[in-house]
A and B are shown apart, each in its own frame.
Chain A
């Protein structure tokens, strides 16, 4: 698997700057063409998928328990917003930091093993979070936390209407994408790729691979938490859906569809899946079948995922 990035630490690539600028303009204009709540949800899942891809695509670690970070953050942010009345940005920050802490614990346990064992440990740990969410009082069991309020940002800026909350979420989205971009295009990101290609070689070069793996696990968990916390604000509900193992599976699907190991491919995959879920749901039972069929087609025809295939075909080597 070739990863088409040339990391020049500390400096920006001109093409990347152009792409970023174009994306920013598109982000600003989109809510006037497409329903903002849908866009916000898509952005949350895009952050989640890109965060997940830091592990799978750039470090070669398949976590099957990322719903734990996404879902617990969604609960914590919903609780902070409705029960404590914290402002929007503090609630999301609280959820993000909690997810990072949870990630540190999960990571410290899971990175001791590789491959399928790593995946199973993360799955087991995330199932513990699922059962905690099902049983705990503050999560409301299977009813979830309902009627989450969109509290003002910094206690000042009102975000109750869809357009203003869209721009708030867009800022978070840009920040998260930039964070992912910086992590990937840094010496740290280079070491991660070295670990992915051959952990023993990275070790023999003198890198403490466990420390690197733990740090990237925590970053990934924190960003997943950012996504989950923001999503609770957007849809104003935190429910069991976000902590189920199916959600962990969905993010794998998004990443593979979009392009594992490309910086923004998973975001494309996430947008695709959310779009399918949203626009096909008036056709009844077709949603799951179609998503399954699309997945099979993608895996058979373009293994590198949508963006990965585009990159491989048109240029940037």
Chain B
């Protein structure tokens, strides 16, 4: 009897194995990396993100629940309409189960809407806007590496605590710049600092001379750059020509990546504060991963690229834990997991889709302190996850349990 029972149990177990595979749509898990391959974000994301996703699939073993893992990629050209149309096509005709990277805010918001409509997991890594896990949050949408709140909060708080208590803002004159300026201002004031003024520059701007003169004349210790991309780069270059750092003022970049520092060079960028979600030179694991990545791509990874690795790896773990690639079940599995990989240890996924992990306030090294290419940053402070990211209850996201 007992023998029969165990035989029956074995039979049931064998019988349930193909059933697990059937729980995967089209008997495969397909991951789509959508990013900017050729324009402004190609260096910080681009082909490097595709390579990072490949590395995650390789490290996971190439199959999940006995089914193959396939990777597709596309260039969204930073256009929300192209991205939304491609995402629909991927989901409707190619059976893509999860989309990741999505490096521009408008693109990420558009694709996350598509994911909500079609019930697919969307793991945004490259885009910055906090709206993704705020008013526009969805139950199957995730935001992985960083967001504007974390950058504003990290840089604002930490710089004030490090003595930079008077601020002047150089703000790009559109919604993104305004919201970044107001976010950081609140944080600076909350921490006992003062905002002595701000100047709005048109988007995009190439000549920052008059704005920098105002910033210099303000006498503020910190000049906050509430802009992004080429505006930030131009402002930093010209600030260096004006000798602003030598004059005792420091710049704080609110949306910057290590690739920006690489492009600027240490001479122009030295002394700059910024917040990052990851740096390749944190510990042995990150150095080893970065070396592996560099071998394939030819440069060190950014927080976005390693974020794509972490997102894909976590997704695959969640698919395995849930036993299906159905988006709601996978999302629940993701939210109950602890994220431990080269990107972070002890990372938690909040109900609104925000992956909370430690962030780092870093300062760009002086040329004489650097040992060579990519040795650019000093970690000034580790910002614990709970402090770095906004409390989900305050984000305006209706999904709170």
Cβ B88 vs Cβ A142 within 8 A = no
Number of B residues whose C-beta is below 8 Å from A? 37
Contacts of A287 in B (CB 8 A): 38, 75, 77
Assembled-state Cα–Cα distance A147/B135 (Å):
12
Contacts of A162 in B (CB 8 A): 88, 92
22 A-B pairs whose Cβ atoms sit less than 8 Å apart in the complex: A35-B89, A35-B93, A37-B88, A37-B89, A41-B81, A134-B175, A141-B175, A142-B106, A142-B176, A144-B106, A147-B116, A162-B92, A236-B110, A237-B80, A239-B79, A239-B80, A239-B106, A282-B72, A282-B75, A284-B38, A285-B75, A287-B77
Known contacts A282-B73, A282-B75, A285-B75; decide if A142 and B81 are in contact (CB<8 Å). no
Contacts of B38 in A (CB 8 A): 284-285, 287-288
A146 in contact (CB, < 8 A): yes
Contacts of A241 in B (CB 8 A): 79-82
Assembled-state Cα–Cα distance A282/B76 (Å):
9
Cβ B75 vs Cβ A281 within 8 A = yes
Known contacts A146-B136, A239-B80, A281-B74; decide if A141 and B37 are in contact (CB<8 Å). no
Known contacts A35-B89, A143-B131, A143-B175; decide if A282 and B84 are in contact (CB<8 Å). no
Contacts of B136 in A (CB 8 A): 146-147
A114 in contact (CB, < 8 A): no
Measured CB to CB, the nearest residue on chain B to A133 is B174
A135 in contact (CB, < 8 A): yes
Binding site for B on A (CB under 8 A): 35, 37-38, 41, 134-135, 140-144, 146-147, 162, 231, 235-237, 239-242, 277-278, 281-285, 287-288
Q: How far is the CB of B37 from chain A (nearest CB, A)?
A: 4
Contacts of A278 in B (CB 8 A): 82, 85-86, 89
Cβ A140 vs Cβ B175 within 8 A = yes
Cβ B89 vs Cβ A135 within 8 A = no
Q: Which 4 A-B pairs have the closest CB atoms?
A: A141-B175, A285-B38, A284-B37, A239-B80
Contacts of B113 in A (CB 8 A): 146-147, 236-237
Cβ B174 vs Cβ A237 within 8 A = no
Most chain B CB inside 10 Å of its own CB: which residue of A35, A231, A237, A283: A237
Name B110's contact: one of A141, A146, A282 (CB within 8 Å): A146
Cβ A143 vs Cβ B109 within 8 A = yes
Contacts of A237 in B (CB 8 A): 80-81, 84, 106, 110, 113
Assembled-state Cα–Cα distance A288/B42 (Å):
14
Assembled-state Cα–Cα distance A237/B111 (Å):
10
Contacts of B286 in A (CB 8 A): none
Cβ A37 vs Cβ B131 within 8 A = no
B47 in contact (CB, < 8 A): yes
Known contacts A135-B174, A142-B105, A147-B113; decide if A235 and B75 are in contact (CB<8 Å). no
Contacts of A285 in B (CB 8 A): 37-38, 42, 75
Assembled-state Cα–Cα distance A237/B86 (Å):
13
Name B85's contact: one of A41, A140, A144 (CB within 8 Å): A41
Known contacts A35-B89, A235-B85, A237-B80; decide if A284 and B75 are in contact (CB<8 Å). yes
